[in-house]
Structure 1
Amino acid sequence: MPEGHVLHRAARLQGRRFRSKPVRTSSPQGRFADGAATLNGQTITGIDALGKHLFYRFDEGEILHVHLGLFGKFRVRSRPAPEPSPNARLVMETETDHLHLAGPTACELITPEEEDELRARLGPDPILDPADGADELGRRLSRRSITIGAALLDQKVVAGIGNVYRSELLFLAGIHPLTVAKSLESSTVDDIWCRSVAALKDGEKMGKIVTV
């Protein structure tokens, strides 16, 4: 499953191509046909990420929520583009650019209230909350009797970390993954947080996870 840096990078790079432009939308697969019809002709006003979730905002107030899950994949290119595959959940085009989304866990229109509920369920995002997230992470870990290895994969504890980052962060911090999460000292939590901020920001910038 793509980790958080992938979604933040997608938001940034797709924003360059699609923000402030009207889009033509379709769903060759058919599973998002009604949503695509609603969005067709609207202008994207913003694209942003939280953890492993991506949000597209449109000028008529619609919010498109995407979660890639295990198999979801974007293909973004300049037009003209090849014909979309029949499994494309969403195709979005401007006069110059083409986005093809296949296999996501979620591709849905949500209300502002539903977005608020989703955000409230997630832990701090190292890319979005670099200065303030450590305290919140500490509070959430202090209530977890599970191992730190399991806790870091729980998106309710921290948003955006997956298997690779989890393993890398614990290795660099010298923490055994079976250590009970709530037993960690605050200084150790701060260390994990600082390393996660640096790692995910590097991943977003370079488009890959850098390990030692």
Structure 2
Amino acid sequence: MPEGHVIHRLARRFTEAFAGRPVAAASPQGRFEEGAARLHGQPVTEAEAHGKHLLVGFPVGWLHVHLGLYGKVTWGEAPAPAPVGLIRLRLANEETYFDLRGPAACELLTPGEKDALHARLGPDPLRPDADPDRAWTMVSRSRQPVSTLLMDQKVISGVGNIYRAEVLFRHRIDPRKAGKDLTREEWKAIWTDLVELMADGVEAGRIDTVRPEHTPEAMGRPERVDAHGGEVYVYRRAGLPCLVCGREVRTEALQARNLFWCPRCQEP
């Protein structure tokens, strides 16, 4: 599932491609036919993201997209080719087309429904209206591991498995530590780091979390090759030596997701 920086990049691209101009809308698959008919000929007014949710404004309402585990998007230059596969939604103008396949959600929301969605979601480190104290209130009262809380979109929005593993490593926090045992200073450091790391991800289009002294150039090591991101400390590095201390990086399943950490750098 894409992490929050990907959806913020997608919102930016929607604004660049479609803002202020009418779009042709269709649902070749047929599962969003009524919604596409309402969007057809309408201009995009704005686009934004909240965590892993994309929200695109039209005069008739808000297009809400959540890619989930299987959703895919395709962009291309107009004219759009004949539809191939199960395309839930196609938007196009004279320059660009956008295809959406397999999303967990593709629906039209009223302004009130959009507000309710925001209210259900935790603060997003990439949004200017985010309130980290709201998340801290939930974290500081919870017996759940901090690694679980960081992935709970009701607590904090947009953080996925990569950012979770990496931000905890960067601050030497045991991922199994209970939220209630986290200090306020640790939470502030986590939040501040996520704001910076995720903003970098929006700009670069990939996740890089290693500090300058641990880059391939600085350490004389090969670059990481992985479709899920750039240079990282522990994510998907189980069995490899930690870039900081040399200890073997570990992994274990936690609520159906793989957790990665260094037992020495993140010692309880």
TM-score, L = length of structure 2? 0.76
* Partner residue in 1 for 2:94: 95
User: Amino acid of the residue matched to residue 83 of structure 1?
Assistant: A
Amino acid at match of 2:33: A
Name the structure 2 match of 1:68. Answer: 67
Which of the residues 154, 157, 162 maps onto 2:155?
157
SS in 2 for 1:101: strand
| Greater mean deviation of Cα atoms: 146-155 or 121-130 | 121-130
**Amino acid of the structure 2 residue aligned with 1:13:** R
Aligned residues of 2:79 and 2:94 also touching (Cα < 8 A): no
Aligned to 1:136: 134
C-alpha change, 1:100 and 1:186, in structure 2 (3 Å) is: same
Question: Which residue in 2 is equivalent to 1:168?
Answer: 166
The structure in which a higher percent of residues are helix is: 1
Higher relative contact order (CA 8 A, sep 6+): 1
Q: Secondary structure at the match of 1:21?
A: coil
Please state if 1:125 is matched with 2:124.
yes
What is the CA distance between 1:135 and its match in structure 2? 1.9
Which residue is 2:48 aligned to? 48
Q: Does 1:31 align with 2:53?
A: no
Tell me, in whole angstroms, the C-alpha distance in 2 between the residues paired with 1:157 and 1:14: 27
SS at match of 1:138: helix
| Secondary structure class of the residue paired with 2:151 | coil
Runs of 4+ in 1 over 4 A off after TM superposition: none
Residue ranges of structure 2 left out of the alignment (5+ in a row): 211-268
Contact persistence 2:55–2:65 (CA under 8 A): yes
The gaps in structure 1 that reach 5 residues or longer are none
Query: Percent of counterpart pairs with the same letter?
Result: 46
**What's the TM-score once normalised by structure 1's chain length?**
0.95
Choose 1 or 2 for highest CA Rg.
2
How many residues matched? 210
Does the residue aligned with 1:152 lie in a helix, a strand or coil? Answer: helix
**Contact map agreement 2:151 2:159 (CA 8 A) in 1:** yes
What is the CA–CA distance in structure 2 between the aligned matches of 1:78 and 1:50, rounded to whole Å? 27
- SS of 1:91's equivalent in the other structure is strand
The offset of 1:82, in angstroms, is 2.4
| Contact residue 137 and residue 189 of structure 1 kept, 8 A | no
Q: CA RMSD in A?
A: 1.2
Cα deviation for residue 175 of structure 1 reads: 0.5
How far apart, in 2, do the equivalents of 1:67 and 1:135 lie?
A: 26
User: What's the offset of the Cα at 1:84?
Assistant: 2.1
Deviates more, 1:98-107 or 1:132-141: 132-141
Equivalent AA in structure 2 for residue 102 of structure 1: R
Give 3-state SS (helix, strand or coil) of 1:182's partner.
Answer: helix
Structure 1 residues 116-148: Cα deviation after superposition (integer angstroms, max 9, x where no partner): 111111111101148x63322211212221000
Show the counterpart of 2:190: 192
Which deviates the most, 84-93 or 1-10? 84-93
